[in-house]
């Protein structure tokens, strides 16, 4: 595991990430799930990170999760990694409420995002009960939606609907219809 929330040591964090990748035998797809605090690290090293990723045969794809507030919209426009990404999707996280009420809808960053090739999608909300079940059973959501998973049958159905919606929305935009570009 590589800690990317290290703006004070951004070069070292990115080197550690790429050494981990190369040590893993360069898998076909690498997903880096970062906390918002990692953007300072990644943005500071964005140009060298993108160039190194391209040298290894990877494309940079960013799913920028949007909350309802102005901050997540504004930060999307400030992110150098987003600007340099080969493909990017702004994802309205409906867990935080009605997408129509998000600051993103009226924010100047939205127009910049689109002008720079960015796409948009929404991630539907899971009910509190389903979210609790998922949190109580770490792992892939798709595995939790499968028969035989440790969650209740009805919760599996709701999680399965969520997985389908995620794949038809943001995942399809990020990776293409079949998961490939």
Q: What is the tens place of the pLDDT at every residue in 13-29? A: 778 878 888 877 766 77
Which single residue is written with the structure tokens 């340099």? 84
C-beta of residue 37 within 8 angstroms of C-beta of residue 5: yes
Please report whether residue 164 resides in a domain. Answer: yes
C-beta of residue 39 within 8 angstroms of C-beta of residue 79: yes
Order across the sheet with 119-123: list the strands: 61-66, 87-93, 119-123
Please report whether residue 135 resides in a domain. Answer: yes
- Looking at residue 180, its pLDDT comes to 46
Please report whether residue 93 resides in a domain. Answer: no
- Looking at residue 30, its pLDDT comes to 72
Which single residue is written with the structure tokens 């190194």? 52
User: pLDDT of 53-98, one tens digit each?
Assistant: 899 888 889 889 999 999 889 888 888 888 999 999 999 999 898 8
Count of structural domains, the chain? 1
Please report whether residue 161 resides in a domain. Answer: yes
Cα dihedral 96, 73, 167, 5 in deg (nearest 10): -90
Which single residue is written with the structure tokens 């790429």? 18
Helical residues (DSSP H) of the chain, grouped into ranges: 10-23, 39-44, 46-55, 70-78, 80-84, 108-115, 128-136, 141-144, 153-166, 172-175
User: pLDDT of 91-131, one tens digit each?
Assistant: 999 989 888 999 999 999 999 999 999 999 999 999 889 99
Q: Determine the Cα–Cα distance for residues 58 and 67; give it in Å rounded to an integer.
A: 28
Q: Is the pLDDT of residue 179 over 50?
A: no
pLDDT band at 181, cuts 50/70/90? very low
- Supply the DSSP symbol for 174: H
Q: Is the pLDDT of residue 2 over 70?
A: no
In this prediction the pTM is: 0.82
Please report whether residue 7 resides in a domain. Answer: no
Give the residue numbers spanning the domain of 137: 126-181
Which single residue is written with the structure tokens 């990170």? 49
Please report whether residue 33 resides in a domain. Answer: no
Please give the structure tokens belonging to residue 177: 């219809």
Please report whether residue 76 resides in a domain. Answer: no
Please report whether residue 103 resides in a domain. Answer: no
């Amino acid at each position: 595991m590589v800690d990317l929330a290290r703006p004070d040591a951004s070069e070292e964090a990115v080197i550690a990430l790429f050494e981990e990748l190369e040590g893993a035998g360069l898998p076909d797809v690498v997903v880096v799930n970062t906390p918002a605090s990692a953007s300072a690290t990644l943005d500071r090293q964005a140009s060298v990170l993108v160039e190194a990723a391209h040298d290894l045969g990877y494309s940079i794809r960013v799913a920028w999760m949007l909350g309802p507030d102005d901050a997540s919209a504004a930060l999307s426009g400030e992110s150098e990694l987003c600007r340099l990404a080969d493909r990017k999707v702004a994802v309205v996280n409906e867990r935080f409420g009605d997408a129509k009420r998000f600051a993103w809808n009226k924010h100047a960053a939205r127009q910049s995002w689109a002008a720079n090739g960015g796409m948009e999608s929404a991630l539907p909300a899971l009910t509190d009960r389903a979210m609790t079940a998922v949190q109580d059973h770490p792992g892939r959501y798709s595995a939790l939606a499968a028969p035989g998973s440790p969650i209740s049958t009805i919760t599996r159905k709701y999680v399965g609907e969520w997985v389908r919606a995620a794949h038809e929305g943001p995942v399809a935009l990020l990776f293409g219809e079949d998961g490939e570009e």
